[in-house]
Amino acid sequence: MKYKAYKERLVKIADLGYTTAVLGWDQETYMPEKGAGFRAQQISTLSGIIHEQFTDKELGKILKKLNDSPKKLTEKEKRNVAQTLKDYKRQKKYTREFVELLSKTTSECFQAWQKARKENNFSLYAPHLTKMIALKRKEAELLGYKKHPYDALLDQYEPGARVEDLDILFKDVRSQLVAFVKKVAAAKQNDDKFMYLHYPKDKQWDFGIDLLKQMHFDFEAGRQDYSAHPFTTNFSAKDVRVTTRVSEDNFKSMIWSCIHEGGHGLYEQGLPESEYGLPSGEAVSLGIHESQSRLWENMVGRSLNYWKANIKLAQKYFPENLKNVSAEQFWKASNIVTPSFIRTEADELTYHFHILIRYEIEKALMDGSLQVKDLPAYWNAKYKEYLGVKVPNDAEGVLQDIHWSHGSIGYFPTYSLGSFYAAQFFATAKKEVKSLEKNIENGNLLPLLKWFREKIHKHGKYYSAEELCKKVTGEKLNFTYFMDYAKEKYSTIYNIK
């Protein structure tokens, strides 16, 4: 009976949360500019109500009684209660005033970021971001930490992640990946000029929809729209929204934003709908979530087998641009490794240098060694140091990402974690899914999706990221899988011995 009461309360809280998410999705897609002020107020009000509901004393009593009587619960119910109790204790550290202020600041900061990016003027964003960083520092103090204030925020996106561990991981990136990228950079570059011809927006859109359908993204339980920065959100497993961005003179941008967000969307659609509102109906962590999108985007969408299946479809949509382009040429053009200043359009190797830069910046912002006013200069210097590129302007530099305007400090490292999980999962899938690569070559992506449904999606948050990785692959996260994958693939593409 107590568990039923617990579940009923969490379902109601989820209803409120997803209602707020609908407003957030609308804010980033269709909301008129003048609606920003009231939208910030509306989301702030709902966020305050959700916080109040989740930190209600009665829910705390229910959780304590359930936690104190574990014998009456199934293993899944025990884990749900333990996870919710952890979240409850964390949320109790916030006041409603702080939650509403953070929500309002987030909406205002997002609007300022949009305007600043459009006008290429960081000064329009700086005061709002300064306020946001101050709130995130206060949040870290509220939550508590042992060694670094950044740890408190990392834990919200990747439970258990700590600066001391990520420092080691990114040290591996520097020591192993940097040397290999230099070898690739020294090799003869492949031709990708045909990717930058004129590709009409509407035809790109239709092509992207076809790619999503091939992945078995369920359009009866989801949709795609345009946004300034591609993202995925969901309001249940039966209502998942992905967005894309189309550039008529860059065919690459739309293709892999569709496939990437499609990977996120498939994960959300695969979560058990019977567990709606409960931890067992949620994704494990952002690192695991990102493993899904990066695997579909890179291990599948940037593979030779994938373009053997899809080159004729691409030629059907764009016969003039692609009539003389083979699957192998398209594949090689899809995997150009070269330093750049745009994270979302970076190749899958130098991408991790983009994440490393953001990781170092976030640590510095949180410990106070870097101030917002100095951010553009610091950003540009890091890009020169790690990628050897000169950032042309703030819109394509420090203003390119939406995350800080959302207050998502601690989010970026999950992108690299996701890529490393993806390589490890894909290596296992190739062993366990019969004729996997041949199926991809034939355009049959269902066997891989079914493997994900069984191995990852159906479990929700039953396992931690580390537990899930061990269950699926037999060992904890191992950077070697990513390096092996990178060396095998790019040594072939660039003829490196």
User: Of these residues, 108, 139, 158, 261, which one is catalytic?
Assistant: 261
Q: By the 8 A CB rule, do 320 and 445 touch?
A: no
Q: By the 8 A CB rule, do 250 and 257 touch?
A: no
Q: Which helix (H) or strand (E) element contains residue 339?
A: none
Spatial CA neighbour of 73 closest among 85, 86, 82: 82
Q: Locate 253 and state its tokens.
A: 């941008």
Q: Locate 366 and state its tokens.
A: 């949180």
Q: By the 8 A CB rule, do 149 and 368 touch?
A: no
C-alpha distances out from residue 465 to 273, 283, 407, Å: 21, 10, 23
| CA–CA distance, 166 with 352 (Å, rounded to integer) | 13
Spatial CA neighbour of 10 closest among 393, 331, 460: 460
| CA–CA distance, 273 with 292 (Å, rounded to integer) | 19
Q: Locate 22 and state its tokens.
A: 């609908």
Strands (E), 198-283: 222-226, 232-236, 239-244
Q: Which helix (H) or strand (E) element contains residue 237?
A: none
Residue 245 DSSP SS3: coil
To which residue do tokens 């390589």 refer? Answer: 423
Task: Work out whether strand 239-244 and strand 222-226 pair parallel, antiparallel, or are unpaired.
Answer: parallel
> For the chain, give me the number of helices (H) and strands (E)?
22, 3
What does 355-418 look like in DSSP terms, one character per residue? HHHHHHHHHHHHHTSS-GGGHHHHHHHHHHHHH------STTTTTS-SGGGGT-TT-THHHHHH
Q: How many CB atoms lie within 10 A of CB 67?
A: 14
Give 164-172 contacts, CB < 8 A, sequence gap 24+: 166/359, 166/413, 169/416, 169/417, 169/420, 169/479, 170/356, 170/359, 170/416, 172/479
Residue 261 a catalytic site member: yes
Active site residues: 261
